Amino acid sequence: MKRKTAAILMSALMAASALAGCGTNEQTTTTAKTTAAKTTAAGSTTAGASTGAANTTANQAGADLSGTITAAGSSALKPLADDAAEAFNQKYPDVSITIDAGGSGEGLKQVAEGTVNIGNSDVTAEEKLDAAQCTDLVDHPVCVITMAPIVNPDVKDGGVTSLTKEQLIGIFTGTIKNWSEVGGPDEEIVLITRPESSGTRATFQKYALDGNKEASNVSMETDDSGVLLQNVKDTKGAIGYVALSYLVGDPGVATIAIDGVEPTLENTYNGTYPVWTFEHMYTKGEPDAVTKAFLDYIMSEEYGGQMEALGYGVSSKMTKTEH
């Protein structure tokens, strides 16, 4: 597999100035609709542009870029990919972008087979694919993602606001079965789990559960972050985990601190919250011109503010780049 040197990787992450899978067959296709939309977007997304000439330059650049981009994989990364595709498409209206979920493993498999341009993943390709499948893959780390334990509001109302690592491991491995065992209500713990193919599961298992294998609740297992969140919201005593990007606004669930540290971007940046990873967009070989332009846009300073608004972390703001 083509590997970037440490210097190249850090350069790419800093250029992001910015900025464990997860989904079903949800698909989004983004194309521009009108010239008016193109003009508005050119003014609002060109860093440092004031008026007229800058907008005209952006529109002319957009007219020169055309093609099709397909992507699949992590549903934890999908909200970012969808938003970036819409913003990018308004700058470049002749580009069509289709984004599937399906989970990190599926995205990596498809990009290795050449059926999509981009494979979105919460983990590195080596963690999901055989060495032979990784040979031609090129990694593009685009952002930082934070995973948060979430519970039905009745659990937090019953007194559980933080869990120790030991308690969290006990809950997700099935040795702790009632919330009363960790200071909560006398209520059965209901695990909302993910399949082993999930990159989000791999991340949570590695950094929240210290590598301990998560128990499976087959009746409520899903690789779709949105479905998992809804299941936790609708089920008394439920616990699961999602990326912060699914918790923007009022999601109807409660987050749980780990050893007293809340799952926030600020705590991820300062190194006190442990459950995070870099998100990856893989290409088979170096990307073509239109795919490269899209990847560069996602990792640009221009897009960094929006990235944080969506709940993703900007790589250059990390105080440490390894756990």
């997304």: which residue's tokens? Answer: 45
Q: What pLDDT score was predicted for residue 63?
A: 55
Looking at residue 31, what is its pLDDT? Answer: 58
Q: Which pLDDT band holds residue 68 (cuts at 50, 70, 90)?
A: very high
How does 23-54 read in b/e, with b if 16+ C-beta sit within 10 Å? bbeeebebebeeeeebbebbeebbeebeeeee
pLDDT digits (tens, 9 = 90+) for 251-267: 999 999 999 999 999 99
Q: 104-113, pLDDT tens digit by residue? A: 999 999 999 9
pLDDT at 19 over 90: no
For domain 6-143+279-317, the CATH class is: alpha beta
Average pLDDT, the chain: 84
Would you list the domain boundaries of the chain? 6-143+279-317, 147-269
| 169-218 pLDDT, tens digit each | 999 999 999 999 999 999 999 999 999 888 889 899 999 999 999 999 99
Contacts of residue 188, Cβ cutoff 8 Å, sequence gap at least 6: 177, 178, 179, 237
User: Residue 13: its pLDDT value, please?
Assistant: 39
Phi, psi (5° rounding) for residue 248?
Answer: -70, 135
Please say if the pLDDT value at position 220 is more than 80: yes
Sort 114 into a burial class: Cβ within 10 Å, 0-12 / 13-18 / 19+: exposed
In this prediction, residue 255 carries a pLDDT of: 98
Q: Where are the beta strands (DSSP E) in 107-251?
A: 118-121, 137-151, 162-163, 190-191, 238-243
Strands 276-284 and 118-121, sheet pairing: antiparallel
This prediction's pTM: 0.76
Query: Residue 320's pLDDT is what?
Result: 87
May I ask the CATH architecture of the domain 147-269?
A: 3-Layer(aba) Sandwich (3.40)
6-143+279-317 and 147-269: identical CATH topology:
yes
Check residue 183 and give left, alpha or beta (phi > 0: left; psi -120 to 50: alpha).
left
Enclosing H/E stretch for 108: helix 104-113
According to the model, what pLDDT value does residue 28 have? 72
Amino acid 295: pLDDT: 97
